Amino acid sequence: MATALLNISHHNSKNMKSVKFLIAITSIIVNTIAAQAQQTKQMQQTPHTQQTKQIRQTQQPKNQLLELKKEKKKINVAFLIYDQVEAMDLNGPVDVFTKANAMDPTYYLYTVSASSKKLVPSEGGTIVMQSTYGFENAPQADILIVPGAAPEVIKSTSDSQPELLKWISNQNKNTKLTMSVCTGSLLLSKAGVLDGNKATTHYLALNLLKQNKKIETLEKVRFVEDGKLITTAGITSGLDGSLHVVELINGKEIADQIGKIMVYNRNGDLSFME
């Protein structure tokens, strides 16, 4: 009987050791899997987070714009328009700044074209616009926004309208901030504005921007800020650039509120582009 009890006790002791061993091994496996999952998540998220925007910011443009706001002077925001301009490139930023004005009156918004007397059709001719000013009488912009168009339109426009490129160049000399939307960066490139800077454009036009060897062309970013220059990627990224500018001047709370009103996720990544 005593021998039987000793055998049972010894057997139970072995079982307990086995159970403890299994628990320890299971704990190690679970912790390892959790660590690997976290590492994988970070590896997946980090590139896209980094790809959202590329910023080499200097304080001067922001400070100059904030000084105007502090002095209660309207900040002039000029939107360049030309034949066959991409409607979303133009209207997206216009809408952002208009909503910012409704919350915190800061900007004088206006459009500029070669002639204020001539109607300007958007891409496809579905929207016809008349600009506020022509090149000859437009006020100096504090913020200049250059929307894009189809690459062939950009080429024909830059080839046939040297006065447009000259106006961009002259305005840029005294802007506090110059921003392009989509292929609008190709016009900035043709005007010599981007020389010596980082920039981006629509992914289908990257090779065209790369033809200018004086520019460091960045890919897979929503926008690039280099000093006072902001270049945005394709079409809707004009919203990212505009909301970024509003955040610089009016604050993050207003920029985020506008994003919500527009049902636009400012923090989206670019994984869908891969």
Provide the annotated active-site residues: 182
Alpha-carbon distance values, 262 to 176, 219, 266 (Å) = 26, 26, 10
- Tokens of residue 25, six digits: 């091994």
- 8 Å CB contact between 193 and 172: yes
**Gyration radius (Cα) of the chain, Å:** 28
Give me the helix-helix angle, 151-160 and 162-172, nearest 10°. 90
Distance CA 86, CA 105 (A): 27
- What tokens does 4 get? 């039987």
d(CA 238, CA 183): 11
User: What's the CA dihedral at 87, 220, 59, 195 to 10 degrees?
Assistant: -80
Q: What is the DSSP string of 239-273?
A: HHHHHHHHHHHH-HHHHHHHHHHTT--TT--SGGG
- Rounded to 10°, the helix 252-261/87-103 angle is 120
Identify the residue whose tokens are 């704990």.
Answer: 27
